[in-house]
């Protein structure tokens, strides 16, 4: 995206104000003509040949059934939160995107 913007600036190309309003009918017509996947969003529709890679009925992830795995995840998350709070307290830059109060 940035490369596209840079190239447009090099060539002196700018957005035309009101372009969408002026060409809305034509753009809508093109979108309708190119809508090849008319079934998406319909109840019961699925991507063709995707059955082989789906979760089977009754499949329960290990994380939900194994208390040891769940315990490890909780401990690791709590350690990460603790380290991040220490970094905040001492004014160091954050290492995660956790939303912790300053």
Provide the token pair at 97. 């995107």
On whether the CB atoms of residues 98 and 82 are closer than 8 A, the answer is no
Is 70 exceeded by the pLDDT of residue 37? no
Q: What is the mean pLDDT of residues 66-91?
A: 92
For the chain, domain boundaries: 67-102
Residue 77 has which token pair?
A: 């998350």
Is residue 81 very low, low, confident or very high in pLDDT (cuts 50, 70, 90)? very high
């Amino acid at each position: 995206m940035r490369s596209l913007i840079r190239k447009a600036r090099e060539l002196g190309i700018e957005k035309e104000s009101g372009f969408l309003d002026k060409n809305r009918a034509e753009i809508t017509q093109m979108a309708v003509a190119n809508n090849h996947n008319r079934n998406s969003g319909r109840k019961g529709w699925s991507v063709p040949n995707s059955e082989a890679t789906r979760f089977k009925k009754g499949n329960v992830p290990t994380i939900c059934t194994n208390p040891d795995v769940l315990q490890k995840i909780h401990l690791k998350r709590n350690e990460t939160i603790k380290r991040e709070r220490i970094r905040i307290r001492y004014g160091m830059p954050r290492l995660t995107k956790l939303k912790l109060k300053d």
